[in-house]
Amino acid sequence: MIEIICENESKAGDAQTAAPQCRIPKNIRQIGEPQPGRRIYIEDYVYTYLVSLAKDKPGYAAYGVRFYGILLGETHKSAGETSIFVRSAVRVITEREKQLDEGTFDDKEYGDGPDSDDDVRFNPEIWKNLYDSAEKYFKGQEIIGWFLCDEQSRVVTDCENPALIPSLQKIHFDNFSGAAKVMFLVDTHEQEEYFYMVDKGRLERQSGFICFYEKNESMQEYMLASRPARSVDENVDDSVITNFRSIIREKKADAVKHQNMSLMYGIFAFMIVVVTVIGINMMNSYEKMQTLDASMSRIAKEIANMNVEGTDYDNLTGTPVTKIDGNVYPTTAVANAPVTESIAETKAAVSGTAGRQPSQNESQTSDRQASVLPTDVSSQASAARPSAADTTVSASVSQPARTYIVVQGDTLMSICKTAYGDTQKYKDIMEINRMDNPDKIFIGQELLLP
Contact 374, 366 (CB under 8 A): no
Q: What is the mean pLDDT of residues 408-430?
A: 89
pLDDT digits (tens, 9 = 90+) for 350-369: 444 444 444 444 444 444 44
User: Percentage of the chain surpassing pLDDT 70?
Assistant: 66
pLDDT at 328 over 70: no
User: In this predicted structure, what is the pLDDT of residue 85?
Assistant: 94
What pLDDT does residue 212 have? 93
Residues 374-410 have pLDDT tens digits of: 444 344 444 444 444 444 434 344 455 689 999 988 9
What per-residue confidence (pLDDT) applies to 391? Answer: 41
Give Cβ neighbours of residue 310 (< 8 Å, ≥ 6 apart). 322
Sequence-separated (6 or more) residues with CB below 8 Å from residue 259: none
Neighbour tally for 219: CB within 10 Å: 22
What pLDDT sits at residue 109?
58
Looking at 39-43, 86-90, 266-270, 361-365, which range is the least confident one?
A: 361-365
The pLDDT of residue 247 is 84
- Is the confidence at residue 48, as pLDDT, over 90? yes
- Residue 279: the pLDDT is 87
Which regions of the chain carry the CATH code 3.10.350.10? 293-353+400-450
pLDDT value at residue 161? 62
Lowest-pLDDT choice from 98-112, 158-172, 261-275, 409-423: 98-112
Range(s) within the chain of domains with CATH label 3.40.140.10: 3-225
pLDDT for 131 equals 94
Look at residue 345 and tell me whether its pLDDT is greater than 70: no
Cα–Cα distance between 328 and 405 in angstroms, integer?
7
CA distances from 430 to 220, 401, 437, 438 (A): 101, 15, 8, 7
Among 35, 79, 53, smallest CA distance to 182 is for: 35
The average pLDDT across 101-122 equals: 65
Using DSSP's 3-state secondary structure scheme, residue 91 falls into strand
Confidence of residue 160 (pLDDT cuts 50, 70, 90): low
How many other CB atoms sit within 10 Å of the CB of residue 26? 9
Quote the pLDDT of residue 296.
86
| Packing angle of the helix pair 239-304, 412-420 (nearest 10 deg) | 30
Rounded-to-integer distance, Cα 437 and Cα 126, Å: 116
List CB contacts of 4: < 8 A, sequence separation 6 or more.
22, 23, 24, 83
Structure confidence at residue 254 as a pLDDT band (50, 70, 90): confident
Q: CA-CA distance, 119 to 189, in Å (whole number)?
A: 19
Band of pLDDT at residue 17, cut at 50, 70 and 90: very low
State in Å, rounded, how far the first CA of the chain is from the last one. Answer: 102
Residue 24 pLDDT class (50, 70, 90 cuts): low
Q: What is the pLDDT of residue 7?
A: 39
Domain 3-225 classification at class level: alpha beta
Whether the full predicted model's pTM is greater than 0.75, yes or no, is no
Q: In 3-state terms, what secondary structure has residue 356? A: coil
Q: CA-CA distance, 181 to 178, in Å (whole number)?
A: 6
pLDDT (mean) for 66-94:
91
Integer Cα distance of 49 and 37 in angstroms: 27
pLDDT of residue 146: 95
Give the helix ranges, DSSP H, for 138-238.
152-155, 166-175, 217-225
Answer whether residue 347 shows pLDDT above 60: no
What is the side-by-side order of every strand in the sheet holding 402-405?
328-330, 402-405, 446-449
CA–CA–CA angle 161, 167, 173 (5° rounding): 95
Most trustworthy range by pLDDT among 135-139, 201-205, 328-332: 135-139
Q: Which amino acid is at 89?
A: A
Class in CATH terms, 293-353+400-450: alpha beta
